[in-house]
Amino acid sequence: MPTIKDVAKKAGVSPSTVSRVVNNHPRISQETREEVLQAMDEIGYHPNVIAQNLVNQTTNTLGLVMAPSTEEAFADPFYAEVLRGIGSMAQKNGYSLLLITGDEEGGELEATLRAVRGKQVDGLLLLRAKKSDKLTDKLNEMNFPFVVVGRPEEEDKNYWVNNDNVQSSKELVEYLINLGHNKIGAFIGSEEYIVDQDRLKGYKLALKSHGIDYNQDYIVQIESGKQEKAYRFTKDLLNSYPELTALYGIDDRIAYGAIKAVKELGFKIPEDIAIVGFNNNPLSELIEPALTTVDINTYELGRKATSLLIQVITEQVTSYCNDIVPTDLIVRESCGGKND
Amino acid sequence: MPTIKDVAKKAGVSPSTVSRVVNNHPRISQETREEVLQAMDEIGYHPNVIAQNLVNQTTNTLGLVMAPSTEEAFADPFYAEVLRGIGSMAQKNGYSLLLITGDEEGGELEATLRAVRGKQVDGLLLLRAKKSDKLTDKLNEMNFPFVVVGRPEEEDKNYWVNNDNVQSSKELVEYLINLGHNKIGAFIGSEEYIVDQDRLKGYKLALKSHGIDYNQDYIVQIESGKQEKAYRFTKDLLNSYPELTALYGIDDRIAYGAIKAVKELGFKIPEDIAIVGFNNNPLSELIEPALTTVDINTYELGRKATSLLIQVITEQVTSYCNDIVPTDLIVRESCGGKND
DNA sequence: TTGAAAGCGCTAACAA
DNA sequence: TTGTTAGCGCTTTCAA
pLDDT tens track for A286-311: 788 999 999 999 999 999 999 999 99
Q: What percent of chain A has pLDDT over 90?
A: 72
Distance from C-alpha of A218 to C-alpha of A238, rounded to nearest angstrom: 10
Q: Tell me whether residue A239 is in a domain.
A: yes
Higher-confidence position of B118 and B101: B118
Indicate whether B133 belongs to any domain.
Answer: yes
CA A120-A121-A124 angle, to 5 degrees, is 145
- Given this model, what pLDDT does residue B73 score? 53
State the pLDDT at residue A339.
Answer: 45
Higher pLDDT, A34 or A73: A34
pLDDT value of residue A300? 94
* Claim to verify: residue A249 and residue A169 sit in the same structural domain: yes
Domain that holds residue B95: 61-163+298-328
Pairing of strands B328-330, B293-295: antiparallel
Calculate mean pLDDT across residues A94-98: 93
Structural contact between residues A63 and A96, judged by C-beta atoms closer than 8 angstroms: no
Question: Does the pLDDT value for residue B158 go beyond 70?
Answer: yes
pLDDT for the residue numbered B87: 87
B287:A286 CB<8 A: yes
Same domain (yes/no): B199, B236:
yes
Instruction: Say if A276 falls within a structural domain.
Output: yes
pTM score: 0.87
Is the pLDDT reported for residue B340 higher than 50? no
User: CA-to-C1' distance for B55 and D6, Å?
Assistant: 12
Percent of the residues in chain B that have a pLDDT greater than 90, as a whole number: 72
Strand D at less than 7 A from CB of B128:
no
User: Within a domain: residue A340?
Assistant: no
Select the residue of B80, B120, B286 nearest A75 (Cβ to Cβ): B80
Give me the CATH number covering residue A34.
Answer: 1.10.260.40
Last residue of a domain, one of B16, B31, B56: B56
Q: Please tell me whether residues A221 and A256 are part of one structural domain.
A: yes
Q: Which nucleotide is nearest to B20 (CA to C1')?
A: C11
Distance from CA of A14 to the nearest CA of B (A): 21
Q: Is the CB of B16 under 7 A from strand D?
A: yes
Q: Within a domain: residue B289?
A: yes
B16 in contact with nucleic chain C (CB within 7 A): yes
Looking at the structure, tell me whether residues A16 and A71 fall in a common domain: no
**Domain identity same for A288 and A171:** yes
A247 lies in the same domain as A279: yes
Q: What is the CATH number of the domain that holds A183?
A: 3.40.50.2300
Do B223 and B156 share a structural domain? no
Domain membership of residue B336 (yes or no) is no
Which residue from A minimizes the CA distance to B51?
A54
Does the C-beta of A49 come within 7 A of strand C?
no
Mean pLDDT of the B69-82 span: 64
Tell me the pLDDT tens digit for each residue of B186-233.
Answer: 999 988 888 899 999 999 999 999 999 999 999 999 987 788 899 999
Q: Are residues A302 and A159 in the same domain?
A: yes
Torsion sign across C-alpha atoms B118, B114, B148, B330: positive
B287 contacts in chain A (CB < 8 Å): 283, 286-287
- What's the mean pLDDT in B68-72? 52
How many distinct structural domains can be found in chain B?
Answer: 3
The helix-helix angle for B227-240 and B252-264 (nearest 10°) equals: 50
Please state the rounded mean pLDDT for residues B297-309: 95
A17: CB within 7 A of chain C nucleic strand:
yes
pLDDT classification of A97: cutoffs 50, 70, 90: very high
In whole angstroms, give the CA distance from residue B10 to residue B42. 9
How many other CB atoms sit within 10 Å of the CB of residue A32? 16
- B19 pLDDT exceeds 50? yes
Mean pLDDT of A176-187: 97
pLDDT at A190: 85
> In this structure, are residues A132 and A153 in contact, taking their beta carbons and an 8 Å threshold?
yes
A193 and A248 fall within a common domain:
yes
Q: Judge if A219 and A304 occupy the same domain.
A: no
Nucleotides of chain D touched by protein CB (<7 A): 1-5, 7-13
Helix residue spans in chain B (DSSP H) = 4-11, 15-22, 30-43, 49-56, 70-75, 77-92, 107-117, 134-142, 165-178, 194-209, 227-240, 252-264, 298-313
Which nucleotide has its C1' atom closest to residue A26's CA? C1
Q: Which residue has the higher pLDDT, A132 or B157?
A: B157
Residue A333 above 90 pLDDT?
A: yes
Which of B283, B291, B306 to mutate against chain A (most A CBs within 10 Å)? B283
Q: Residue B87: which of A53, A101, A282 has the nearest Cβ?
A: A101
Give one DSSP letter per residue of B175-234, joined into a string. HHHHTT---EEEEE--TTBHHHHHHHHHHHHHHHHTTPPP-GGGEEE--TT-HHHHHHHH
Residue B339 lies in a domain: no
The answer to the question of residue A107 being in a domain is: yes
| Same domain assignment for residues A34 and A183 | no
Asked whether residue A44's C-beta has any atom of DNA/RNA strand D within 7 A, the reply is: no
Alpha-carbon span A229 to A78, nearest angstrom: 20
Contacts of A1 in chain B (CB under 8 A): 117, 119
Average pLDDT, rounded, for chain A: 90
Q: How far is Cα B340 from Cα B322, in angstroms, rounded to an integer?
A: 33
Look up residue B101 and give its DSSP letter: E
Q: DSSP assignment, residue A119?
A: T
Residue B118 (CA) to nucleotide D13 (C1'), in angstroms, measures 26
CB atoms B103 and A92 under 8 Å: yes
Segment among A317-331, B67-81, B144-158 with least mean pLDDT = B67-81
Check whether residue A159 and residue A302 sit in a common domain.
Answer: yes
